[in-house]
Amino acid sequence: MSPSGGVVGSPPLDPAQSTEAHQALWSEYRSYCDRQAARLLRLIPREAIRPLYRAAREWAAQDDATDVLYRDDPMATLVAFCQGLMPLPPFAVWLEDRDRHPADHLADRDEAPDPPTAAAPSTLDARDFRHGGMSWVARLESFRDHGAWRAFISFTEVGRPITHRTGVVFREEDPEALRERFHTFESTTLSAFLRSALP
């Protein structure tokens, strides 16, 4: 959602991906757009913020502003408005770039002024696998803690809303190392982590 039609709705669904993995990528893309807009706001002179926010409020009050949450959250309104002022890539372009340059995208998270926290972790990656004859999605959820990156794995059975998660069992110096480690796990390893997380 943006004044010039930037980040709106959901991207086209790739039938090869499960809905859960697709939504994790969409969430990561939205996070990326939010970070870029927040960085723009830090560059704008203080005296220019008030008129910019006034314009953002007028935009959010329009009938075609689809996300009502922006009308009640001043910072979210400003960030969403700024996204429309920026030449942000469409989801498909961002996804292709993320696949080609994963280290750069992980570094972007690492250098973010407001990195993910334990209370609001970031999904670094998502993988589909099978366990007990059922399809599951494993997500690597991470956050920065005292200069290091920690992570846990959350599991969702495809088509069911219940999520199971491990404890915080991974620690690396940067998010790229966490992601590389996650990719070394075979399906049997993911199944073992899932069994440890099930009640």
Give the containing element (helix H, strand E) for 165: strand 163-165
**pTM higher than the cut 0.75:** no
What pLDDT tens digit does each residue of the chain (199 aa) get? 445 444 544 455 454 455 667 777 888 898 889 889 988 998 999 899 999 999 988 888 775 555 545 567 788 888 888 998 999 999 999 989 988 887 788 778 767 767 778 888 888 888 999 999 999 999 999 998 888 999 999 999 988 888 999 999 999 988 889 999 999 999 999 999 999 999 8
Q: Name every residue whose Cβ is closer than 8 Å to that of residue 194 and which is 6 or more positions away in sequence.
A: 131, 136, 138, 155, 164
Distance CA 152, CA 167 (A): 6
